[in-house]
Amino acid sequence: MIIAVRHIAKKDIANAMGKVPQAFSRMLKPGYHWTFDDMLMASDVIGVSLNDLTDPNLTPTKVLQIQKTAAPNGNDGQLVAGHGFEPWTSGL
């Protein structure tokens, strides 16, 4: 859900985790058992805490709140460099 709500490309996460996209796609299927190291790496790459990543009650609204509180850079929680906010194109 975090990947979908934040519009993060799965291949980018796979690359950052040192995995091929097919392997990462398998990891997202129900029943796949993640290692603790993979969970830590994914939470770091996605930019959420391990608690948020494993929250069984996570909702899209909570994801957006997490994104806003985790973005102290003043760009309203938008990811930078091709993922939603490019200051050089915003007219600022």
Joined tokens for residue 61:
């609204």
Return the CATH class of domain 2-85: mainly alpha
Question: Distance of CA 45 to CAs 9, 22, 62, Å?
Answer: 12, 18, 18
Tell me how far apart the alpha carbons of residues 13 and 1 are, in angstroms, rounded to a whole number.
14
Q: Domain boundaries in the chain? A: 2-85
Q: For the segment 24-69, what is each residue's pLDDT rounded down to a tens digit?
A: 999 999 999 999 999 999 999 998 999 999 999 989 999 888 887 7
Residue 42: which of 79, 17, 67 has the closest Cα? 17
* C-alpha angle 10-13-15 in degrees, rounded to nearest 5: 110
**Residues facing 75 on adjacent strands:** none
pTM passes above 0.75: no
